[in-house]
Amino acid sequence: MQQEIIISGFGGQGTLFAGQLLAYAAMDSGSYVTWIPSYGPEMRGGKARCTVVVADEEIGSPLVRRPSAAIVLNLPSMEAFEPAIKPGGTLIVNSSLIPMQSERDDIQVVYIPATDMAIELGNVRLANVICLGALVKATGVVTLDAISQALEDHLPARHHKLLGVNRQALALGAQQV
């Protein structure tokens, strides 16, 4: 089993963090993992994405051209990656910022108003974790418990005060699937 996932959005939306969290959860669960970030020169507002490959055997190449799943947090990401997903794959869409609907009927598409939900939780920066919860629930790439444990194990100590709200965001995302 190998799952190839792209997480994409604007810089500052936490795409790289969501990918790292997924990679740590998979690695801590005993899977083989690659995580590759890609971002523009801008600190915030530019393009940001990462690829995560999770497998139960050694990974031949970390490059992802036809992902089995994607999280798209903004419209340019939807336009770029929705057509690339393999048939039978999964697309998680931040419908708060993406007004378009997928026209594909050969993939599972989950629309989540993640930015709006994150604002309701009190922190717009939780949209990425909400979408990650949905991805995990929809694909089974790892368990929600593994993501929750990875948060605790790999989140810097200065941010541990945010563990509770991050776990709440994960659960909210999973409930949307």
**42 vs 40: CA distance, rounded Å:** 6
pTM: 0.95
Q: What angle do CA 100, 112, 19 make, to 5 degrees?
A: 100
**163 vs 34: CA distance, rounded Å:** 25
**139 vs 24: CA distance, rounded Å:** 17
- How many Å is the maximal CA-CA distance in the chain? 44
Radius of gyration of the chain (CA): 15
What are the pLDDT tens digits along the chain (177 aa)? Answer: 899 999 999 988 999 999 999 999 999 999 999 999 998 765 566 789 999 999 999 999 889 999 999 999 999 999 999 999 999 999 999 999 999 999 999 999 999 999 999 999 999 999 999 999 999 999 999 999 999 999 999 888 898 999 999 999 999 999 999
Domains along the chain?
Answer: 2-175 (3.40.920.10)
